[in-house]
A and B are shown apart, each in its own frame.
Chain A
Amino acid sequence: MENQDQTIEVMRACLLAGKIMLQSGAETYRVEDTMSRMASSFGLSQTHSYVTPTGIIFSTEGEGPERTKLVRISDRTTDLRKVAMVNSVSRKISSGKIGLEEALKQLKDIEEANLTYSFFIQIVAAAIASGCFTIMFRGSWLDFLPSMAAGGMGYFLVVYFHRIVPVKFFAEFLSSFFIGMVSFFFVKVGLGQELDKIIIGSVMPLVPGLLITNAVRDLMAGHLVSGLSKGAEALLTAFAIGSGIAAILSFL
């Protein structure tokens, strides 16, 4: 009986680790790999996992009846620090530095922790990145400040709208619409030179770069379901951004 309780606890730890990683934008193979490694360091060598972007099914074979657990993943963000932290917990487990209880405690702390940079710093980062992208796409330095303003505003709006309206598509559409409008305004007033360069630079913080590459990598690694669904998510985001900009361009 004790053994079975232990099995359930191990599964709980594995699924918690997998859930945090998947929500933070880790690749599918890394999630599966981490879960099976953790399980085997705790003595469960026969495990199967099925990881998709919207849920994880994890089952173990061993003494006693087979057990299967499922967790649902409802929202996904990009939080590389959490991926790194879960990774280091799993390393500590495999090297035997921490036991099951300690691991569960650390994972729970990671799940609840809010480790993001402050919202203001994120907006500043998005603004600076937008300005730099305008230069990288051979825009002139005169367009640096306008695209900084438009890009920072766009990033602020996408986070803000996403808080009000849970539909991501709508938030992305609206904020790229406003980016287009503000850029057009800058050019009209004479603050900006090339509308195209300003818009391209300032939508870059919204572009689903992580999703696109993760999608193709998952497909190549044989995780066909996750690859296709991540690709669909990326396509939807790209379509939202594109149609927001297109709505502005059609008025020109």
Chain B
Amino acid sequence: MVYIEQLITSFIASAAFGIIFNAPKESLVKCGISGMVGWIVYFALDANGFGTIFATLMASFLIAVVSQFFAKAYRTPIIIFSVAGIIPLVPGGLAYDAMRNFVENDYSVALSLAAKASMISGAIAVGLVFSEVINQVIRRSSLGPVK
């Protein structure tokens, strides 16, 4: 039940972010799908105790794979699908908690939360770049040099 709720809300949230970022109308559903796939992977891994950073890494990797598929299929820049997809993973909640602890003069907790937030943003980017690199390696090795 929780998973269905998360699937629906993450789909809607990512598609809504597509609207805020002014993605073309026909790509909004795909934005939603890439966000939904990423979020549900993150949610499932996190709920089963794999740790947020690993979960974020896997989710952003998967988002990049899905976005690459869409970008190839519809001949549009990959950024349209990946950006809306990764928005749910951005550690807004952690950054908020960190800020709150700073205000409450609890610096040691605040710093560790802030460090974790920056690790997660790093994991998002690494996941995206990693999948791009793998894609390039596959293309170069099987089809020869691609211009």
Contacts and interface: CB of A to CB of B under 8 A. Distances in A.
Interface of A: 25-27, 30, 78-84, 87-88, 91, 115-117, 121-122, 125-126, 128-129, 132-133, 135-137, 155, 196, 199-200, 203-205, 207, 209-210, 212-213, 216-217, 220, 238, 242-243, 245-246, 249-250
Nearest to B122: A216
B16 to A, nearest CB: 4
A207 B90 contact: yes
Contact of A135 (B9, B77, B124): B9
Given A203-B92, A213-B128, A88 B75 contact: yes
Contacts of A200: 92-93, 96
Given A122-B19, A129-B13, A135-B5, A213 B39 contact: no
B12 interface: yes
The list of the 10 closest CB pairs from A to B, nearest first, reads A216-B125, A132-B13, A129-B16, A125-B19, A242-B99, A132-B9, A125-B16, A209-B90, A246-B103, A80-B23
Contacts of A205: 17, 20
B16 A128 contact: yes
B24 A81 contact: yes
A150 to B, nearest CB: 13
Chain A binding surface, main DSSP class: helix
A126 B6 contact: no
A205 B14 CA distance: 11
A104 to B, nearest CB: 21
A87 B77 contact: yes
B117 to A, nearest CB: 9
B21 A207 contact: no
10 contacts: A78-B21, A84-B80, A87-B76, A117-B22, A128-B16, A132-B12, A133-B13, A209-B90, A213-B125, A238-B95
Nearest to A199: B96
A194 B147 CA distance: 53
B100 interface: yes
Given A80-B22, A249-B103, A216 B13 contact: no
A224 to B, nearest CB: 15
* Most B C-beta atoms less than 10 A away, residue of A80, A200, A245: A80
* Most A C-beta atoms less than 10 A away, residue of B97, B102, B125: B125
A127 to B, nearest CB: 8
B105 to A, nearest CB: 10
